[in-house]
Structure 1
Amino acid sequence: MSFGRGQLGRGLLIGLAKESDTSNPSAAAQQPSIGRARSTAAPQEAGVSAAATPGPAAPAFGRGISAFGRGAVPQPSGDSAATSGAVPSAASTFGRGFGRGGVPPAAAAATAALPEAMSRMSVQGAPTQHPAAAAARPERTRRPQIGRVGPEDKTGKTGQRVTVGTNFLRVEGADTMVYQYSITFNPSVDSRMQRDRLVLSIQDPEFQKIPGRVPSGNSLYTNRPLPRESAVYQAASGNMRVAVQLQLVGTATLSSLPSVYNIIFRSIQARMDLIEVRRHYYNPHAGERVPGHQMEVWPGYITSVSHVDGGLRLMIESSHRVVRSQTVYDLFQSVGTSLSNMTDAIVGTSVVTRYNNKIMRVDQVETSMDCTHTFERNGTQMSFLDYYRQAYNIEIQDPQQPLLISRSKPVRGKDGKTLEQRQICLVPELCYVTGLTDAMRRDFRLMRDLAKFTKLSPDRRLMELRKFVQTINNRPECRQLLDAWGLRLLEEPEVVPARRFVNERVLFGGGGRGPFAPVPVGQTSEFKRALADNRVLIDGKLLKWLVVYPAREERTIASFCETMMKKCRAMGITVAQPSTVALPNDSTDLNLVCAVFTSQREERYNCAAPSWWSPASACGPRLSATPRRWAAWPSTLPPRLTSSSAAPCGASKFPTIDS
């Protein structure tokens, strides 16, 4: 009989073999190794009754079901059969067998003792393990237990404990139901802000009974259901009359739709007479003029509602918008009235119209249209001069000034086709420029004066938070919307425990004072000034370097090189006198840069080539061949330069020479 890989087979077979070894030393000396069954563990949890008498029809277990399985026992013949106790020809097998192929003749004595050993087994017990097998069993090593890091391990221990305020406000309220409706406009409306205004302008009594009406583009969210799941209402905004169809989409709880919280607070800011600019809101009525500069700063807010540890919180961050007192018309007079100058100065920037406090992006300067151009309004032709005189009581001073074109974003219809973009004509005389130019950002005095308004202290930020909440509570329309959704905004910001670290120190080279010189950096952790007054940790050397400069700046470059060598010497860096190359001028009007190498060395070429060069896009072979090849190479250059598919020497910053 053979035994497989299981604990039952391994334990029985090894135990019987050891008992046979003690009773018959000569047979033990001739017994071969035991295949894969090397484990000496006796099964203490085996719950199978193994008391079975082998016979011609003994049951089979595991993979070796019959004499043809992997653990089949070859039938002994001759004297071996008589000596072993007549092992049956169809002995049952357990698993893959004793040595995977049958019982060798030397192990027949151990197999003969199987019935007696199996008869001693019971459901609760197992054969007794041989002492020698227990001694030979290797001890199992236990893995070290790694403790889990719990939430209590996140608390730090360094520094001084303090309590700090945050820019989060607690939002309390009940979890109400939300009803979502899809909105369809007939005719279609492109502007998202215009769609919201049209929905809020519906005067139907059954629609006005819903206090929590929050539109967002093509969707409407309410805290109560409308009388009908599908209804059509009439809306008007100015001279525009539109049919608005509302169709119920579904319902959900307010806590399951975090985006609805943000839509509610954006609607509240719109009712506070704030102007929306790129999803943020600014207050033009609270603008502050910057002394000494023709600009003012509009305060604003960036809001976001989210679920955090502890409940619902509203994050409020102060933001600012810079609006210049200079009109676009004044800007055109300063840069020149040519189309190219005006396009470079204004296209792509945002302007604000003070008569209605709207911010729009300028996409084009249309010189073929001026203020005398007419358009159709209420079935009659009207010029821009008459329109602004009648609508806003504004007299335009220069009727011949070109108009600015602002296009709406492309919108796809239900059929997938892109709808026609709506164009808005603006008068430069009535538009004010927003934002800062690159020249303004380089002006140190201007940026310093602007920082007084844009960089707020902690006390000023706390005051702005409280002012925001007070404005909401003092406006009945804002208070009504919060009450309709069952929300309440606490005035005091959230406070959290924190730690104040000790001032860090930066290690510099000690020089003669020792290996290191610790320098404190203060509470701002600013050590830019300390870099110039202390030595580096490891002395460095700059022995070979090149300076390329315009010839007219020779005196300035000489002073620069002298200052650099002096400062670096104090920092422990040795700087040698540089090699200089004086250029006639600093013009970038180049069509080709040609570098000549006398040997074909890859590292030299890679060192000289800029990062935007690549050997594959080089316009010719490296000049490392004979002068005959040198003379042939320039003839291949003009076709490469005039080709639209190849950039000269891979330099995409160089202009392509026209053929």
Structure 2
Amino acid sequence: MSGRGNLLSLFNKNARNMEKSISSEDHEIDSGLDFDNSGSSGERLLSGHNIETDLITTLQNVNISVGRGRAKLIDTLKTYDDTSNQFITTEAKENNTEKTKGAELEAIASHNGLFFPDLIYGSKGSSVDIYCNYLKLTTDESKGVYNYEVRFFPPIDSVHLRIKYLNDHKDKLGGTKTFDGNTLYLPILLPNKMTVFISKVDDAELQIRILYKKKEEMRNCTQLYNILFDRVMKVLNYVKFDRKQYDPSRPKIIPLAKLEVWPGYVTAVDEYKGGLMLCCDVSHRILCQKTVLEMLVDLYQQNVEHYQESARKMLVGNIVLTRYNNRTYKINDICFDQNPTCQFKIKTGWTSYVEYYKQYHNIIIKDVNQPLIYSIKKSRGIPAEGEHIQFSLIPELCYLTGLRDEVRSDNKLMREIATFTRVSPNQRQMALNKFYENVSKTPAAQEILNSWGLSLTNNSNKIIGRQMDIEQICFSKTSVSAERSAEFSKHAATNEMLKVVHLSKWIIIHLRNDTKAATNLLDNMKQACKSLGMNISNPTMISLDRDRIDAYIQALRRNITINDQIVVCICHNSRDDRYAAIKKICCSEIPIPSQVINAKTLLNDLKIRSVVQKIVLQMNCKLGGSLWTVKIPFKNVMICGIDSYHDPSNRGNSVAEFISTRAQNNLQKIWGRSDNV
């Protein structure tokens, strides 16, 4: 066939192939297997290109005088053929050039044994070699993370029972799984899209249907991989505090303070440009060698009348560790009307705490008159089952964790603790190698990773970085070098501030017993302000008779006026509830800058000068002033920052804050906003 008949047949052939291609694409989307379509799509494009070539070749052999109708169309298609050939040739050359460049860069990277995320280099400063605390995770191509939906007939509401009945068929699923009650993850693909198991429950049949959904992409599996490494750390006998893991077998002892420093790690798996990586960093946890009972005895000897109130203030909200099971609990309350001889119900009947610990933990409780500690945790069931579980703990078996206020205030002790907690880059690298060695030499840990097709490689990523030149810190009338350590606090306390806000009308609120602390603050502020270039007037002094939260609140509401610049509250001790109440009034109800100071810091004659200097610098910033600046190499720039806060006591509420500069060539003018999210 020639002429118009051949042209028409080629168009029909093209249309039929396009319909087949579309129907094929629709079928693949329904299947959900979208990870192996590269070959089929390439074939469809190739077939379409061949049809177009046949069409153009036929048109080349058709000779028709050019007019305004079909001949004009054919002439246009001939012209398109010449342009298309040029375009295809040019595009092929560009693709070949890009592939050649990419191959050259990859060859350079592999030859040097380096990891280059973007291969972009700067020019300022000097070049340095940097090692990252990341370990590469390689995946087995024969395995993956397969997502299944599990349904029970008849339906079962209890998550615990769902897990129990599915575990009866664990061997048929390959032995390795992760199941949360609804979604099942397996490292293998089951033979059928629908797998059905039958379980016997009370002489009745329970049908478990496992429906294949999809194969998860690597970036969607990071949560599962983090759970796997939690299991690895548990196999290595590490103790979990929040998201960090600590080794109780290698504590560093500080005998004078009766403290222990537990070394540990914080790990996180995520996908990066270099592939799947495990970030591993060093962490430390402080534990007290004294039991909670010993602390209660000390409090009782110090103040018999207010013993219970002092004990609650000191202990409630802290985290304790029970060494017999290496678990942590948060203290919610102290029950002084109960003791270890009280009875509670277990599966076999009623028993006392003394008998329970002797029978199940082989521990003999010595003091039977000590109070009990209450800890409340939420159950891990579905929201409908989310009841609170109450744990009753024995103070004699509990050890306080973290740093207490008396420890933080002891500078000598803090320096001794810092010798263990402040580690150098070389020590971090050694700790990273030790972590890899522990995981690789523990068969149980290797089994957890291998069952999901993961393997850990110790190729500490080496990258090339830039060490910037030393910056000049600019004050109002002079500039100083930041030095390599970037420590210039002594210059900030002795040079005139870049932008000063003079203090003319302000308020000091203090207890009558802390009058000396208030006087020390005012006298030292006047001395410090001379070198900082700040003028300060006498404040409105308000004395309180009682150390109560409502007394501070009433004083703030009665005395703050629209002309006041800042209010300073001197508190007798550190209390979170008092601090929160003051900040709530000064941030929400009566917006005004505020400064809360512990009176004890103002009574130390050896340190009061440096303390007050830092307080003045903080107050100047809160009033809108600036301490110093650095030279910005570009103009008309806006610097933005964002941060978030997650309330640990109320996980449903979070606060996001956005802040930015809002003036050209002036990085000191700030605009900020906070919102609940």
TM-score by length of 2: 0.55
Read off the aligned partner of 2:394 and give its amino acid letter. V
Q: How many Å separate the matches in 2 of 1:164 and 1:283? A: 28
The C-alpha deviation readout for 1:127-173, integer Å capped at 9, x for no partner, is xxxxxxxxxxxxxxxxxxxxxxxx98963210001110111111122
Of 212, 218, 222, 1:255 maps to 218
Q: How many Å separate the matches in 2 of 1:287 and 1:616? A: 48
SS at match of 2:427: helix
Paired position in structure 1 for 2:644: none
> Residues 224, 159 of structure 1: CA spacing in aligned structure 2 closer, same or farther, 3 A cutoff?
same
Identical pairs, percent: 27
Q: How many Å separate the matches in 1 of 2:424 and 2:398? A: 33
> Residues 595, 464 of structure 1: CA spacing in aligned structure 2 closer, same or farther, 3 A cutoff?
closer
- Aligned pairs for 1:84-103 within 5 A: none
Q: How many Å separate the matches in 2 of 1:214 and 1:206? A: 13
Q: How many Å separate the matches in 1 of 2:484 and 2:177? A: 49
Read off the aligned partner of 1:523 and give its amino acid letter. R
Paired position in structure 1 for 2:359: 390
| Contact 1:186–1:244, Cα closer than 8 Å, also in 2 | no
> Residues 496, 186 of structure 1: CA spacing in aligned structure 2 closer, same or farther, 3 A cutoff?
same
Paired position in structure 1 for 2:171: 206
Paired position in structure 2 for 1:272: 236
Paired position in structure 1 for 2:54: none
1:527 aligns with 2:488: yes
Compute the displacement of 1:594 (Å).
10
Q: How many Å separate the matches in 1 of 2:343 and 2:394? A: 13
SS at match of 1:326: strand
Paired position in structure 1 for 2:431: 464
Paired position in structure 2 for 1:504: 471
> Residues 375, 553 of structure 1: CA spacing in aligned structure 2 closer, same or farther, 3 A cutoff?
closer
| Contact 1:353–1:359, Cα closer than 8 Å, also in 2 | yes
- Aligned pairs for 1:408-447 within 5 A: 408-410=377-379, 413=382, 417-447=384-414
Read off the aligned partner of 2:564 and give its amino acid letter. C
SS at match of 1:607: coil
Paired position in structure 1 for 2:416: 449
Compute the displacement of 1:476 (Å).
0.6
Paired position in structure 2 for 1:105: none
Structure 2 spans left out of the alignment, 5+ residues: 1-71, 74-116, 201-205, 568-582, 591-677
Compute the displacement of 1:321 (Å).
1.9
SS at match of 1:450: helix
| Contact 1:335–1:345, Cα closer than 8 Å, also in 2 | no
Paired position in structure 1 for 2:271: 307
Compute the displacement of 1:499 (Å).
0.4
> Residues 162, 605 of structure 1: CA spacing in aligned structure 2 closer, same or farther, 3 A cutoff?
closer
SS at match of 1:161: strand
Structure 1 spans left out of the alignment, 5+ residues: 1-122, 125-150, 235-242, 511-516, 598-602, 618-659
- Aligned pairs for 1:323-402 within 5 A: 323-336=287-300, 338-402=307-371
- Aligned pairs for 1:25-424 within 5 A: 155-175=121-141, 176-180=143-147, 206=171, 210=175, 212-214=176-178, 220-224=184-188, 229-231=195-197, 247=210, 250-253=213-216, 255=218, 257-259=220-222, 260-336=224-300, 338-410=307-379, 413=382, 417-424=384-391
Tell me how many residue pairs correspond in the alignment: 445
| Contact 1:275–1:281, Cα closer than 8 Å, also in 2 | yes
Q: How many Å separate the matches in 1 of 2:278 and 2:558? A: 64
Q: How many Å separate the matches in 1 of 2:347 and 2:519? A: 72
> Residues 519, 400 of structure 1: CA spacing in aligned structure 2 closer, same or farther, 3 A cutoff?
same
Q: How many Å separate the matches in 1 of 2:515 and 2:313? A: 34
| Contact 1:160–1:501, Cα closer than 8 Å, also in 2 | yes
Q: How many Å separate the matches in 1 of 2:365 and 2:411? A: 36
The C-alpha deviation readout for 1:614-652, integer Å capped at 9, x for no partner, is 9999xxxxxxxxxxxxxxxxxxxxxxxxxxxxxxxxxxx
Compute the displacement of 1:344 (Å).
2.8
SS at match of 1:177: coil
Read off the aligned partner of 2:339 and give its amino acid letter. D
The C-alpha deviation readout for 1:397-437, integer Å capped at 9, x for no partner, is 11122222223305564xx6345433322111111111223
Q: How many Å separate the matches in 1 of 2:208 and 2:245? A: 29
Compute the displacement of 1:485 (Å).
2.6
Paired position in structure 1 for 2:32: none
Read off the aligned partner of 2:495 and give its amino acid letter. N
Q: How many Å separate the matches in 1 of 2:287 and 2:272? A: 36
| Contact 1:273–1:283, Cα closer than 8 Å, also in 2 | yes
Read off the aligned partner of 1:332 and give its amino acid letter. L
Paired position in structure 2 for 1:628: none
Paired position in structure 2 for 1:106: none
Q: How many Å separate the matches in 2 of 1:404 and 1:596? A: 41
The C-alpha deviation readout for 1:79-119, integer Å capped at 9, x for no partner, is xxxxxxxxxxxxxxxxxxxxxxxxxxxxxxxxxxxxxxxxx
> Residues 585, 186 of structure 1: CA spacing in aligned structure 2 closer, same or farther, 3 A cutoff?
same
Q: How many Å separate the matches in 1 of 2:258 and 2:326? A: 18
Paired position in structure 2 for 1:655: none
> Residues 381, 584 of structure 1: CA spacing in aligned structure 2 closer, same or farther, 3 A cutoff?
closer
Compute the displacement of 1:177 (Å).
2.8
| Contact 1:179–1:248, Cα closer than 8 Å, also in 2 | no
SS at match of 2:446: helix
SS at match of 1:156: coil
Of 579, 582, 607, 2:564 maps to 607
| Contact 1:214–1:264, Cα closer than 8 Å, also in 2 | no
Greater Rg by CA: 1
Provide the alpha-carbon RMSD of the alignment.
4.6
Compute the displacement of 1:250 (Å).
3.8
Q: How many Å separate the matches in 2 of 1:205 and 1:560? A: 69
In proportion to residue count, which structure has more helix?
Answer: 2
> Residues 577, 460 of structure 1: CA spacing in aligned structure 2 closer, same or farther, 3 A cutoff?
same
Compute the displacement of 1:232 (Å).
7.5
Read off the aligned partner of 1:524 and give its amino acid letter. S
> Residues 534, 346 of structure 1: CA spacing in aligned structure 2 closer, same or farther, 3 A cutoff?
closer
- Aligned pairs for 1:594-633 within 5 A: 605-607=562-564, 612=585
Q: How many Å separate the matches in 1 of 2:588 and 2:188? A: 69
Q: How many Å separate the matches in 2 of 1:583 and 1:378? A: 59
| Contact 1:300–1:318, Cα closer than 8 Å, also in 2 | yes
Read off the aligned partner of 1:530 and give its amino acid letter. H
Paired position in structure 2 for 1:83: none
The C-alpha deviation readout for 1:320-343, integer Å capped at 9, x for no partner, is 222111212122222338543433
| Contact 1:199–1:244, Cα closer than 8 Å, also in 2 | no
> Residues 360, 608 of structure 1: CA spacing in aligned structure 2 closer, same or farther, 3 A cutoff?
closer
The C-alpha deviation readout for 1:32-61, integer Å capped at 9, x for no partner, is xxxxxxxxxxxxxxxxxxxxxxxxxxxxxx
